[in-house]
Chains A and B, each alone.
Chain A
């Protein structure tokens, strides 16, 4: 095979096939039955892209490449196999950051390999073409923001080093604006404005550092409940960063696959925003749930009047006679790792002839689809997982709704109190059911920091405690009654 044929025909065709397989794989994701195959196809497309690139590069020194591939694959594989399903949002955030970091470093290293190391005499733009040079700066900027933003999101989700609540620094909007202008300005100056190679390199590195700071500044003021939006958006950024790299290299495969990821992230971002009845601008800059004045919005337990607290055996009595039961899980389910015991309780109720379903609010949990994954882990059939609109029309005929670790997504204030910060947000109308059992640690407000009148309703039974323990209690009682 001649070199020209390889470079001119084989490699481009392989790239084209890879792009097609990426799209087909994505299409597989539209149905549960074909999703696994779709993901597999997507990974094949990736392999094809890597093989084609190695063919394109021809005979090269593989030492760095092999080292990087081996190390990266090992770290990726080990974390992927070990991570618990409840920690999936953190994991996705971290992987996402890795992708962004790669784009940032690719932008920097292209500047070095194409311009600085050969000792070019003109500006980077004159060596690489203006469009590639511009994209290099963008690649560094977007990649840097994605990397540090994802790491901050990861830390916030872990709630160990950083608190999940918003961290508000004074003057943050101005600081972020300055960081953005500084990073973009330096990045563009590095590729368009200077022929001094030392200054060019320094400016590019400072641009990267400012981008990293910007990523921190953008994500740190955002609260835990808004993480689904942030993760979706960062996902989109990582795609855009790959796109930018594609523009640098004039590589259509990168542009296509990056655009797919970018579109996917944007769609999810939009779905999350709609589900919270908020605009993206409001999520990113509005500082919701940071409660300037807690007392005005309704503080903790003292605000509650006639809350009836019950024991698990009371709940079990209601469950025993229920014909239709719905579970409404929230982030508390993930924290308590209660998905398996939920499933056991559901199975027990099904044995007694009850019809069980699950109502999933789009923003329940910390990332889109978080609850679905947890329940799938516990072998809940996905046919039983109902979206908000579907289950809302069923609550009237439902005997018992079990709210497990959810709060704001079942708050009637969203429909009834026009002044409420969550007014207009679509919620699960659990109160329409005959009985609502709310399993909760305490009467502490949810992320929105507001009171939930549902807890005072006549048809509401509060069972306080750790979700897993309470559910185990309910399960034991129901089983006992069955045996009796």
Chain B
């Protein structure tokens, strides 16, 4: 059954091309926020960890899943907040200038 896998590969390849197209246009000034922001996106793996931590029992999968959720949330919340902090500095400076 290659069907679903093939579709996933299509999605992967096209998304990679899309990523290249969009991100090539990011100016160097924004490279750090780009990195920390895209970093936060990689926390999307939390979707997988929610699946493995879905019962209340103390099992290997639940414990590993819960740790994975914690790590993913550090990545997500920390990444977005820190990116916002940086971008805020880029944005407000005109108003602040004397």
Contact = CB atoms under 8 A, between A and B. Distances in A.
26 contacts: A29-B34, A35-B30, A40-B84, A46-B80, A50-B46, A64-B56, A65-B53, A68-B73, A69-B69, A69-B73, A88-B36, A92-B39, A109-B53, A112-B52, A112-B59, A131-B4, A131-B5, A235-B38, A242-B43, A260-B22, A360-B29, A367-B32, A372-B30, A372-B31, A379-B96, A382-B29
A43 B41 CA distance: 8
Nearest to B32: A369
Given A99-B75, A255-B8, A362-B28, A42 B69 contact: no
Interface string A252-274: 11111111111111111001000
User: Which one of A76, A248, A249 has the highest number of Cβ atoms from chain B below 10 Å of its Cβ?
Assistant: A76
B32 A88 contact: yes
Contacts of A81: 81, 85
A127 interface: no
B59 to A, nearest CB: 6
Given A95-B39, A250-B4, A26 B48 contact: no
Contact of B70 (A60, A71, A116): A71
A232 B12 CA distance: 20
Contacts, number: 397
Contacts of B75: 76, 95-96, 98-99, 102
Contacts of A42: 37, 40-41, 80
B67 to A, nearest CB: 6
Interface string A74-89: 0111011101010010
A32 B29 contact: yes
Contact of B87 (A36, A68, A79, A117): A36
A69 to B, nearest CB: 5
A247 B5 CA distance: 8
Q: Is the interface of A mostly helix, strand, loop or mixed?
A: helix
A311 interface: no
A22 B47 CA distance: 15
A239 interface: yes
Interface in A386-408: 387
Nearest to A247: B8
Contacts of B56: 61, 63-64
Nearest to A43: B80
A73 interface: yes
Contact of A381 (B66, B71, B94): B94
A49 interface: yes
Nearest to A367: B32
B48 A76 contact: no
B15 A256 contact: yes
B33 to A, nearest CB: 6
B28 A369 contact: yes
Contacts of B40: 42-43, 46, 95
Given A64-B65, A99-B39, A372-B28, 4 more contacts: A35-B90, A76-B73, A95-B39, A109-B60
A133 B84 CA distance: 37
A36 B77 contact: no
Contacts of B77: 72-73, 76-77, 80
A372 B29 contact: yes
B72 to A, nearest CB: 4
Contact of B29 (A39, A98, A242, A385): A385
A101 interface: yes
A246 B41 CA distance: 13
B20 A36 contact: no
Interface string A91-130: 1100110111111011011101100110000000000010
Nearest to B44: A257
A373 interface: yes
Contact of A64 (B33, B44, B66, B85): B66
B47 A251 contact: yes
Contacts of B55: 60-61, 64
Contacts of A23: 18, 22
B26 A259 contact: no
Contact of B64 (A54, A71, A77, A108): A108
A261 B38 contact: yes
B35 A53 contact: no
A249 B47 contact: yes
Contact of A30 (B26, B38, B90): B26
Contact of A29 (B11, B26, B78, B96): B26
B89 A376 contact: yes
B18 to A, nearest CB: 7
A43 B54 CA distance: 23
A368 B19 contact: no
A30 B32 contact: no
A92 B35 contact: yes
A446 B15 CA distance: 40
Contact of A72 (B29, B41, B45, B70): B70
B19 A260 contact: yes
B95 to A, nearest CB: 10
A429 interface: no
A72 B71 contact: yes
A211 interface: no
Contacts of A53: 46-47, 50-51
B93 A379 contact: yes
A109 B67 CA distance: 10
A380 interface: yes
